[in-house]
Amino acid sequence: MTYKILSNKDVKIFEALGSGIIPGGGQHFEMGARDLSEKWLPRTDYLLSRMNLLSRTGMRFLGKLINIFWPMVYLRQFSQMIHLPEDELVILFHRAESSGTLSSALILLLKVLICPPFYGLKEVKESIDYKEKFPNPKNFEGIKA
Per-residue pLDDT averaged across 4-24, rounded?
92
Amino acid 54 reads L
* Predicted local confidence at residue 8, as pLDDT: 93
The per-residue pLDDT of the chain, averaged, comes to: 86
- Most confident range (mean pLDDT) of 86-90, 101-105, 124-128, 136-140 is 86-90
* Predicted local confidence at residue 17, as pLDDT: 92
* Predicted local confidence at residue 142, as pLDDT: 64
Q: How confident is the model at residue 143 (pLDDT cuts 50, 70, 90)?
A: low
* Predicted local confidence at residue 134, as pLDDT: 76
* Predicted local confidence at residue 77, as pLDDT: 92
Q: How far apart are CA 28 and CA 130, in angstroms?
A: 11
| Cβ atoms within 10 Å of 47's Cβ, excluding its own | 17
Q: Residue 68: is its pLDDT beyond 90?
A: yes
Phi-psi region of 25 (alpha: psi -120 to 50; beta: other; left: phi over 0): left
Q: How confident is the model at residue 9 (pLDDT cuts 50, 70, 90)?
A: very high
- In the chain, pLDDT over 70 holds for what percent of residues? 94
- What is the distance, to the nearest Å, from the Cα of residue 103 to the centroid of all Cα atoms in its chain? 15
Q: What is the pLDDT of residues 90-123, one digit of tens each?
A: 999 889 888 877 777 788 888 888 988 988 888 8
Higher-confidence position of 1 and 77:
77
